[in-house]
Structure 1
């Protein structure tokens, strides 16, 4: 399909570039002790958010393609919306639809997984919570019950503690519910011959300790998960509850940082791990979000994988298994080959239109969010749209707990961005400052306040360069996080490490502004959310947005 844009009838743009700054996780919530954004000293952000060219945008629920207003936004769907200019049904909603209409269980992928599970063991691996950002336990339970109904007698669940999209220490409550579901399934005879079901938790660990790395930031983390799930390497416990209770007594860290564990049958009597992965088994990764599912998918399914040695402790080869994801996590890389639900087909993105018009652009962040300003912004597509017109810069992230380095790579991202802007080669640029989100997820309020103050300091530098070049700066965020850092009940504070349902800021800084346009007044909602940003960018570049894009946030 040939893409093109029409010139704007009344606005030709500014002489300098348009820059979009996404302050990841910096939402808008009432001031107070739990709000790291308002607790921080932020003269630059205050000036931006008090100008006449300011509004607030919805960044959760239906506004970003999620099922309900109770569904938190996240960086992936947020950047999808920013780059697509329209709302597409996203992971959780797609999976819910496929479960509701039973189509997920009619696929050849499900049928093949069940067939392998009848002969061997069906393994389900994924984030274990109801956070709704990467997975939901409700979907896990539907898979478990259907597997049992379809004749699977042996099923091993490998759980990854959350403590990030949900309360920091909530793993025990989730384990209790899952154990009850498994017991209920096991209580029913598998067939008329009286065969017994063996559905059980087999292994697990914290999501920031094993399995769920992203963007190649920490392959040893994936290797730990691989060896835990596949070969049963790790500390042995009689149950997942015992594992968590023991680790709680040893550390004050939240669930996301708890170490790996393996359940051993007849603990202490020389028993075997409860659910190693062996030849002929089937493995389903039940997360629907892609970023932290890609690497473990490659480790379990890629014949040409070379990031770490996949042989067992006694030199045994990696098992040959049937592997599937809940969705295909990377369509360009085809990871994985087998998947249960088709991902959203996002086409005609902002980047595709700009490349078709010959507009040179850049995208930059550090490793933790680099994929968001590239892969997700471009509609879940890897690589360049047009390498002649685009420059993507990834600054390597440090492998640390981010409350120890609140600046993360904000300084480096800013310095690189300034060089790109001053080069005169680019008409449009986008960047992501990750620290409001990544430090916010630690639940450490002082560190998050410091992170926001560093963002403010470097926003001032970017504003100065935009003024120098006669360009336009857009300041926004992809979802909330740093804006609510704890909850308080009866005087007891509990860290809130998850995203929030807060709206996000949207401000335009235009040093040449002379009243040519105005911010459109509307309440945050599905028609006034992140997907409206793309048309606004087109306006500021001097183009009309495609007719099916959500309306611009400015009017002329």
Structure 2
């Protein structure tokens, strides 16, 4: 309502700013890693064609959905704002469209729908002739999108670059929801491999179902193949991401999140056995939390806790298993120290630009 009131104050006979459509990122438009193209199709119908449930304002839409289902913001169904019965803002020939996402994983598919002439993921019905640009280029290797407003960050000196130079054989596995995190993001927003011979990628297809309905996700399937890869002896550095704490935690469903965390605990128990069998070292950490703090404190005028859908700011653990080392302690240590730590454990020289290893030097 603050945004809508602000726009109303700006508007006059020569200017008309409005929220024209919307919906939650887990429902429409913002699929990632091509896990669920129908989400993007639904977003296209909502934003471009103006086809969807109609409301007089975004405030009305959000309050109605919350009242009907108790849905949290990221799970809001799509909505279209109308004046009378007509949508106030379909996307037409001659329009300019700016996708102002900064992060690339959930931006790429809708970019393809606007940019590609030969597009077969869904029937667009019509493709408006618009000037389309992203806030930045979300994938420079694949040229997505073709036009953008600012140069993407040039991420250099990644861990994979360093390991490839040393001939280290790598293995990356996750399910679709986090597959890009262990490949695209891991390699510095790069979809291509640095070395096809030394890098092996495995994607376990995620279920297309609300996470709280299947909170174990694909933890068992990931672990099946990861343990096999660990004990094979073919790889010197392996990585995975278990999405459960993040994706199920975002739902605000405490019971489901407990099950999701327990599923990861079971998976880690199996990984530990494989690590023992291979006489390997296991590092366990997280990029951020969601299962650790699932509700915001209620405001004075609110009776219940609302689900916390943003990432938490609590520190994450860093655990080393099966290595006779001592870790440094300090508030200035974090994820950026892990690359050098991995290299030290692999007896590989770390990149000179990195923050130092977390391992205490022997006295």
What SS does the corresponding residue of 1:431 show, helix, strand or coil?
strand
2:33 corresponds to: 215
Match of 1:421? 230
1:545 to 350, 355, 358: 350
Displacement of 1:308 after TM fit?
0.7
CA drift of 1:215 comes to 0.6
Task: Establish whether residue 518 from structure 1 lines up as the match of residue 326 from structure 2.
Answer: yes
1:297 corresponds to which of 111, 119, 127: 111
Match of 2:295 among 480, 483, 486: 486
**Residue among 187, 190, 202 paired with 1:378:** 187
Which of 504, 521, 545 does residue 316 from structure 2 map onto?
504
Q: Aligned residue for 2:3?
A: 178
Gaps of 5+ in 1: 1-175, 188-194, 312-316
**What SS class does the counterpart of residue 352 from structure 1 fall into?**
helix
1:258-285 CA distance string (max 9 Å, x none): 22221222x2xxx421111111111001
Question: How far has the Cα of 1:546 moved from its partner?
Answer: 1.6
Secondary structure, aligned partner of 1:543: coil
Deviation at 1:359, TM superposition (A): 0.9
Q: Structure 1 residue 308 and structure 2 residue 156: aligned?
A: no
Write the distance in 2 (CA, Å) between the matches of 1:459 and 1:203.
43
Q: Structure 1 residue 481: deviation in Å?
A: 1.1
Q: What is the alpha-carbon distance in structure 2 between the residues aligned to residue 240 and residue 547 of structure 1?
A: 50
2:98 is the counterpart of 1:284: yes
Q: What does residue 150 of structure 2 align with?
A: 341
Q: How does 1:40-55 map to 2 (within 5 A)?
A: none
Query: 3-state SS of the aligned residue for 1:224?
Result: helix
TM-score normalised per structure 1: 0.63
2:15 alignment partner in structure 1: 197
- Structure with greater contact order relative to length (CA < 8 Å, sep ≥ 6): 1
How many angstroms apart in 1 are the aligned matches of 2:72 and 2:98? Answer: 26
Q: Is the 8 A contact 2:162 2:351 kept in 1?
A: no
TM superposition shift of 1:389: 1.0
Find the partner of 1:262 among 74, 80, 99.
Answer: 80
Q: What SS does structure 1 have at the residue aligned with 2:163? A: helix
Shift of 1:488: 4.2
Superposition pairs of residues 396-415 of structure 1, within 5 angstroms: 396-415=205-224
Aligned counterparts of 1:262 and 1:199: Cα–Cα separation in 2: 15
Which residue of structure 1 lines up, in the alignment, with residue 56 of structure 2?
238
Q: Distance in 1 between matches of 2:137 and 2:166?
A: 31
Q: CA deviation at 1:555?
A: 2.4
Is the contact made by 2:166 and 2:348 (CA closer than 8 Å) also made in structure 1? no
**Runs of 5+ consecutive residues of structure 2 not aligned to the other structure:** none
- Which of 336, 353, 357 is residue 162 of structure 2 equivalent to? 353
State the Cα distance separating 1:211 from its structure 2 match: 0.5
Q: Which whole-Å deviations, capped at 9, do the CAs of 1:373-422 have from their partners, x for residues lacking one?
A: 00000000002211111110000001111111111011111110011111
Find the aligned partners of 1:483 and 1:502 in 2 and give their Cα distance.
8
Deviation at 1:243, TM superposition (A): 2.0
Q: Residue 284 of structure 2 contacts residue 318 of structure 2 at CA under 8 Å; is this kept in 1?
A: yes
SS at match of 2:63: helix
Residue of 227, 239, 243 corresponding to 1:434 = 243
Q: Could you tell me how far 1:435 is from its partner in structure 2?
A: 0.3
> 2:327 and 2:204 mapped to 1: Cα distance?
34
Judge conservation of contact 2:231–2:277 (CA < 8 Å) in 1.
no
Deviation at 1:453, TM superposition (A): 1.4
Please state whether the residue corresponding to 1:383 is helix, strand or coil: coil
- 1:249 & 1:469 partners in 2: Cα distance? 54
Contact in 1 for aligned 2:31/2:39 (Cα 8 Å): yes
Aligned length: 358
Q: Identify the match of residue 250 of structure 1 among 68, 76, 81.
A: 68
- The CA deviation string for residues 329-380 of structure 1, in whole angstroms up to 9 with x for no partner, is 1111111111112221101211111112111110000000000000000000
What SS does the aligned partner of 1:182 have? helix
CA deviation after TM superposition for structure 1 residue 510, in Å: 1.5
CA distance in 2, matches of 1:200, 1:552: 50
Structure number, greater radius of gyration: 1
Structure 1 Cα separation of the partners of residues 166 and 259 of structure 2: 41
Distance 2:45 2:318 in 1: 45
8 A Cα contact 2:211 2:251, kept in partner: yes
| CA positional deviation for 1:487 | 3.7
- What secondary structure does 1:446 align onto? helix
Secondary structure of 1:388's counterpart equals coil
Task: Give SS of 1:379's match.
Answer: coil
